[in-house]
Amino acid sequence: MSESYVTPDGRTIGGKVLEMRNITLRFGGVVAIKDISFDIREGEIRAIIGPNGAGKSSMLNVINGFYHPQDGEIWFHGEKRKPMKPYQIAKQGIARTFQNIALFKGMSTLDNIMTGRFNQMKTNMALQMIWKGPAEREEQENREIVEKVIDFLEIQAIRKTPVGALPYGLQKRVELGRALAAQPRLLLLDEPMAGMNVEEKEDMSRFILDVNDEFGTTIALIEHDMGVVMDISDRVVVMDYGKKIGDGSPDEVRNNQAVIDAYLGVDHG
Amino acid sequence: MVSKRNILPEGLDTFPKLLARNAKQWANVPAYREKEFGIWQSWTWSQVAEEVDALAMGYLALGLNEGDYVAIIGRNRPYLYWAMLAAQAAGAIPVPLYQDANAEEMAYVLEHCGARFIVAEDQEQVDKVLEIQDGLPAVEQIIYYDKRGMRKYEHTHLNAYEHVQAEGRAGNQRLAPVLAERQAKLGEDSTCVMLYTSGTTGKPKGVVLSNTNIIASAKASAEFDHLNAGDSVLAYLPMAWVGDFIFSIGQSCWTGFCVACPESPETMQADLREIGPSYFFAPPRFFEGLLTNVMIRIEDASPLKKRLFHKFMAHAKKVGPDLLDGKPVSFIDRLKYRIGDFLIYGPLKNTLGLSKVRVGYTAGEAIGPEIFEFYRSLGINLKQLYGQTEASVFITQQPDGQVRADTVGVPSPGVELKIADNGEVFYRSPGVFVEYYKNAESTADTKDAEGWVATGDAGFIEESSGHLRIIDRAKDVGKMADGGMFAPKFVENKLKFFPNILEAVVFGDGRETCTAFINIDLNAVANWAERNNVAYGSYQELAGHKQVYDTIQSHIEEVNKSVALDPMLSGCQVHRFLVLHKELDPDDGEMTRTRKVRRKIVGEKFNDLVDALYSDATKVSTETEVTYEDGRKGAIKATLELRDVAVVPVVKEVAA
Amino acid sequence: MFDQFLYGTEAAINGLMTGVMYSLVALGFVLIFKSSGIFNYAQGVMALFGALTLVGIQDGQVPFASLINAVFGTNVRDFGWTLPAMLSILLAIGVMILFAWLVERYLLKHLVNQDPIILFMATIGLAYFMEGIGDLMWGAEIKTLDLGINQGINTTIDSLTYDWFGYGFYIDNLDITAAIIAILLVVALTLFSQYSSTGRALRAVADDHQAALSVGISLRKIWVIVWGISGFIALVAGVMWGSKSGVQFSLSLITLKALPVLMLGGFTSIPGAIIGGMIIGVGEKVFEFVVSSSWFGDAMGFTMNATENWFAYMLALVFLVFRPQGLFGDKIIERV
């Protein structure tokens, strides 16, 4: 199944965007990820689930470049990835959000999201100091893109508010905005729904689906809320104690005995 | 069609003609503004005229017939105002709907007027229409403006606004003459717009308003306040409301002033500040809310700021209204006021966005006098007006220099007033509506053969000033068991003056005593709770808190003292009250979309609570059904405390 | 009495000028501390080194002259040319930027995740190292720095105030120039950090390293920029002080004076550095003026002199007790 296909609701899922081959990650004596392979296809929403401590965040950190696996290869868009710094990986088109929100607390929403455009802003410092001319134009172009993101996420009212003063749900939305502003090819979301109530989760799910639908962005997300996972993801990877114990569509995974034993449990009702 | 009355000047009796004049006379003056993507975009009159024509021709291309109804659904956006103007240009009639109406309410209106075309703002509105489409066989074309999320929809009867305009421009050659022909047939008697009243009782009625109605009212009121092309307004009130139509289309097309649309409902306050309109209308609730916010923020300010504020505000209250009215004020007082303006009033007005307001109006319900004084003392020319959809808004207005809290003003230019024997107010004017659509019976009930319209309100004209004073809804004005007048609004308005009380419903018609339901203002009370370390987990818990009850009780007692002084209404003091466990909500049918309490419905829905108030019980348990925003229903259980209130004994004169 | 007031005002104005210079030095500290959490002990030495380099380039000195002479037995001193001021300044800026790059590459990169205290010690080492290199490169004699900036009493102000008040204020031209340059620098810096993309990246790095990395900002590149700008500011400060009192090794003692400024204004605030500097500058001069004046002596029975040496530190001590984060610094909250 490596050619593209069309889902029931009309989205096109393409070839492999990211391929993790036999990834092993160790921290001293602790093996966080043990020989895991899986792929993510273009345009799909891939969920990574598993109990706490399974190594999901570590996996995202590997994709992102914060951790370097001792073994294994990462293939991005058909090319093997050389050891790179996180900022170089960001330049390649991978953006992410963090479980505990890594926003610039002292800066406004607008400024935070503008930093997401950093890699696309090419004018050098000297031009910026002069300001008039290329630097100003570039700033305006990027501002327009950022405004569209703000409009998309409906956060116009908090444009100038320092992010540290915002409630948790809005901070998460701003962080999503910053990741979106980078117009990434692959979007990594680390527990985007954590700490939200039902209404906020619905809003966030809607945004994630909209992003995937309108911009065709490939999304990998770590999530604990099974309802959300079953609802919005195309395929699921299940991890437990650093090993992969399930990989397939939400339905396949839901009925997988190993997954049920380790994580889902059975319906006692 | 030759009209008999010819009230309007020949060349300016329809909106297409007004638009054409504006495009020539004020070609480069901004007509409409909107904040999109963080910056204010604007269109001049000539640009607007072009856009409207393009859309009108697009309508023609899609098959719009003369006399068709075009429904418009969305929040205030220039594109939707143009959609209404374009409908008129094509000989059709716009029918704006409330954007936060649910599918059921929309279905009724759409079915009643038989609209063939619908112009919706975005996916949300389109979805609502599609949901009820089966019950609306007349609907043929849906046009949407915002393309977001619309990619997947089937487009046989769905069209994007942009495309419709493009079609219109492409077909210019053959469609322009058709347009001209249709416009030639329009005159001052042609229907301008149809607005559905929110209906405090029963189903909404379609008020048919002609060009005469709208334009004559716009002209008269614009002259009354010297409105001109240099003025500007912020359009944020529902487009389905007659006031917004008169301000944002009627008056703006007549005078040429600029209409600005905010970026989103949440940013309205910030946008108000940026635009700084010179002509501003808001319901009393808005001004009350603003004042409450200011007071709350002052409480949190440093002691120095607080002292300065209170000191200068006291001076403003003394001197400000007089300054505004042009009455003589001593030099020293003027100087002090100047200083106060520099330090306090100016910055305050700036924060509120009201610095440039030359004429401000409020209407809808009687507004607490102290709130009125607050704004006037700051130098904001806030006045009252009184009107209805059926009058094309204006019945009475307060002239500059004659502004008082307890009247609604003198008859607007062209309006005649009379008071019936039972106290009901009647009026007649060029703005009086043509009829209720498809409802001759109601029309006959409301408008008599000579054109006098019953307002449904009881009031009297003050001899000394010629101002009208409204007491209450005529049918709500009742009698207490002992024959004394019962006017619930009178008491409720006094109660609502307190920042802690958001809403009050007073019962007592035919009873011996009056009782009341109270809704607390979550904003104000939560703030107080925070400052006094009172913990609460929900609105319901806060509403039932003993200290909250104590505060409310003292408020009611204060009001009772004031009510006792009124010669006619002293029997209306409140004897017992309870605090409701949930806020009254339009979604639950307890209020109208314009937030007027539906007294009868509330009384019926909560009849167990009313009964408990008229018993000796100190507590009552109840379960209430609520409707969530998406239409689902749920239930809230609560046990409410019932309290007695001190009442001032009134020495009643022996009835003559 | 009025003339006392006039003298006092003159003292205050002079204090303001001095204060601006203090601010300039403090600014360099703030920049580096804000974006990398390092207290750069070498800031004062950077000022000295910058000034030395500038003089050396301008006078056409041969760098490392004494070393070369010692090794090769030659007797070189100058190249024999002098360079115009503008060119020398540009070259000196280039040297400071090169220096910033070297510091990042050979010092910071290797100490990235270490404790702040270790980084602080590294900068102490850097300071001594630079002093030594400075000496070796350019020699330790006092040099005069002449960039063509006016020096001496500003005659316009002198005559104006004489006409108005009957007493001519002595305000040095150099001080005025320095103040203006400092203000321009601060304004430019603020605008740059608020509105440009790199400025935003600087603020981002100062806020949260992890988040900045994840957005694709190269920390190392930003550090080079920050140290470069600090180096430039140090150069300006060194030039200003050097023009006034000659380029000599005691210039590096400016570091000490910057400490009270930082304590007053907060370590992380640019406006704080400016205001702190001015408060210290004015405070010093006015305090000295008051406690050494005759009427103070009459009132209290004694006068104090040379209080300029310790006033700033006393003030800083008071602040440390009552408001450790300074007037504008971020409140130090330990989150559990």
CA triple A62-A67-A71, angle to 5 deg? 75
> What does the pLDDT average to over C318-323?
84
SS3 A8: coil
- Kindly state whether residues A53 and A86 are assigned to the same domain: yes
> Does some domain include residue A101?
no
Predicted confidence (pLDDT) at residue A22 exceeds the cutoff of 50: yes
Interface confidence (ipTM) of the complex: 0.74
In the predicted structure, residue B52 carries a pLDDT above the cut 80 = yes
Q: Are residues A192 and A89 in the same domain?
A: yes
Q: How far apart are CA B176 and CA B168, in angstroms?
A: 9
**Sequence-ordered alpha helix ranges (H) in B423-575:** 440-446, 488-496, 522-531, 539-543, 546-564
CA–centroid distance for B621 within its chain: 35
Q: Which residues of A touch C217 (CB under 8 A)?
A: 87, 115, 118
Chain A interface mutation, best of B37, B41, B75, highest count of A Cβ atoms under 10 Å:
B37
Residue C171's nearest CA partner among C1, C23, C19, C15 is C15
State percent of chain C over pLDDT 90: 0
Q: Are residues A128 and A152 in the same domain?
A: yes
What are B517's strand-pairing partners?
B505, B578
User: Between chains, do A151 and B152 touch, taking CB under 8 Å as contact?
Assistant: no
Cα dist. C297→B65, B328, C4, C336 in Å? 100, 58, 14, 53
User: What type of residue is A176?
Assistant: L
**Lowest-pLDDT choice from A216-220, B236-240, B481-485, C260-264:** B481-485
A68, A156, A59, A141: which is closest to A109 by C-alpha?
A156
pLDDT value at B45 more than 90? yes
In this structure, the answer to whether residues A76 and A202 fall within a common structural domain is yes
Which residue in C195, C197, C211 is closest to A103 by CB distance?
Answer: C211
Note the pLDDT of residue B5. 55
As a whole number, the mean pLDDT across chain B is 87
- What are B506-551's pLDDT values in tens digits? 998 888 889 999 999 888 888 888 888 888 888 888 888 888 899 8
Residue B199 has pLDDT above 80, yes or no: no
DSSP codes joined into one string, B254-291? HH--EEEE-S-GGGHHHHHHHH--SEEE--HHHHHHHH
Which of A91, A106, A128 has the CB atom closest to C197's CB atom?
A: A128
Find out whether B187 and B172 touch, Cβ atoms under 8 Å: no
The gap from C-alpha B139 to its chain's centroid, in whole angstroms, comes to 29
C49: domain range?
A: 2-322
Flag whether A9 is in a domain.
Answer: yes
Identify whether residues A4 and A75 lie together within a single domain: yes
Residues of C in contact with A66 (CB under 8 A): 213-214
Determine the Cα–Cα distance for residues A203 and A187; give it in Å rounded to an integer. 18
- The encoded tokens of residue B519 equal 């809704």
Confidence at residue B354, expressed as pLDDT on a 0 to 100 scale: 92
List Cβ neighbours of B574 (8 Å cut-off, separation of 6 or more): B491, B506, B514, B515, B516, B556, B559, B560, B645, B647
B129: alpha, beta or left? (left if phi > 0; alpha if psi -120 to 50): alpha
B333, B319 Cβ separation under 8 angstroms: yes
When pLDDT is averaged across residues A137-151 and rounded to a whole number, the result is: 90
pLDDT digits (tens, 9 = 90+) for A71-85: 899 998 888 888 888
| Stronger pLDDT, B401 or C326, i.e. the higher one | B401
Asked if residue C113 is part of any domain, the answer here is: yes
Q: How many CB atoms lie within 10 A of CB B212?
A: 24
Computed on alpha carbons and rounded to an integer, the radius of gyration of chain B in Å comes to 26
Give the three-state DSSP class for B328. coil
- HSE value, Cβ hemisphere, 13 Å, CA-based, for B44: 10
Strand, helix or coil at C132?
helix
For the segment B327-349, the average pLDDT, to the nearest whole number, is 87
CB A45 within 8 A of CB A214: no
- Residue B44's DSSP bridge partners are B30
Same domain, A51 and A177: no
Q: What band does C331 get if pLDDT is binned at 50, 70 and 90? A: low
Q: Domain boundary residue among A181, A204, A236? A: A181
Position B231 pLDDT exceeds 80: yes
Q: Give me the helices (H) in chain C, please.
A: 2-36, 43-59, 65-72, 85-103, 116-138, 155-165, 173-195, 197-207, 209-215, 219-245, 254-265, 270-291, 294-300, 311-322
| Structural domain count, chain A | 2
Residue B383 has pLDDT above 80, yes or no: yes
Is C160 inside any structural domain? yes
Residues B448-490 pLDDT 10s: 888 899 888 888 888 888 888 887 778 778 778 887 778 888 8
What pLDDT score was predicted for residue B3?
41
Chains contacting C (3+ CB pairs below 8 angstroms): A
Taking the C-alpha atoms of residue B394 and residue B363, their distance in angstroms, rounded to an integer, is: 10
> Which residue of chain B comes nearest to A154, CA vs CA?
B264
Q: Clarify whether residues A8 and A51 are in a common domain.
A: yes
pLDDT band for position A137 (cuts 50, 70, 90): confident
Residues of chain A found within 8 Å of residue C207, distances taken between Cβ atoms? 104-107
Last residue of a domain, one of A181, A199, A217: A181
Q: Tell me the CATH number at A22.
A: 3.40.50.300
From A104's Cα to the closest Cα of chain C, the distance in A is 6
Q: In whole angstroms, what is the distance from residue C222 CA to residue C229 CA?
A: 11
Transcribe C220-237 into DSSP letters.
HHHHHHHHHHHHHHHHHH
Inside any domain, residue A202: yes
pLDDT at C336 (0 to 100) = 35
* Close Cβ partners of C208 (under 8 Å, ≥ 6 residues apart): A102, A103, A104, A105
Q: Is C331 a domain residue?
A: no
Number of structural domains in chain C: 1
Q: A191 with A74, same domain?
A: yes
Confirm whether C316 is domain-assigned: yes
The answer to whether B263 contacts A150, with C-beta atoms less than 8 Å apart, is no
Q: Is residue A100 part of a domain?
A: no
The chains found to touch A (3+ Cβ pairs under 8 angstroms) are: B, C
Distance CA B214, CA C210 (A): 61
Domain final residue pick, A134, A157, A181: A181
Q: Which residues of B touch A150 (CB under 8 A)?
A: 37-38
- Residue A99, domain member (yes or no): no
Shared domain for A166 and A219, answered yes or no, is no
Q: Are residues A146 and A172 in the same domain?
A: yes
In a domain, A2, yes or no: yes
> Taking 60 as the threshold, does the pLDDT of residue B652 lie above it?
no
For chain B, how many helices (H) and strands (E)?
Answer: 24, 29
Strands A235-240 and A45-49: parallel
Residue A192's domain comprises 1-93+184-269
C150/chain A closest Cα distance in angstroms: 28
B630 contacts chain A (CB < 8 A) = no
Per-residue pLDDT at B1: 39
Q: Which residues of B582-596 are buried (b: 16+ CB within 10 A; e: fewer)?
A: ebbebebebbbbbee
- The token duo for A124 is 């050098």
Calculate the CA dihedral of residues A216, A217, A223, A227 and round it to 10 degrees: -10
Co-location of A84 and A203 in the same domain: yes
Among A90, A125, A142, beta carbon nearest to C214: A90
> What is the distance in angstroms between the Cα of A106 and the nearest Cα belonging to chain C?
7
Contact B87, B94 (CB under 8 A): yes
* Residues of C in Cβ contact (< 8 Å) with A86: 213-214, 216
Whether C327 maps to a domain, the answer reads no
Q: Provide the token pair at B192.
A: 């301008």
DSSP letter assigned to residue A241: T
Compute how many other C-beta atoms are within 10 angstroms of the C-beta atom of residue A28. 5
pLDDT of residue A266: 64
Query: Residues in chain A whose beta carbon is closer than 8 A to a beta carbon of chain C?
Result: 64, 66, 85-87, 90-91, 96, 98, 102-107, 111, 114-119, 121, 123, 125, 128-129, 131, 135, 138-139, 142, 178, 182
Query: Who among B148, B149, B266 is closest to A157 (CB)?
Result: B266
> Is C147 contained in some domain?
yes
A228-232, B566-570, B598-602, C191-195: range with lowest mean pLDDT: B566-570
Residues A194 and A113 in one domain: no
- Give the separation between CA B155 and CA B160, rounded to whole angstroms: 9
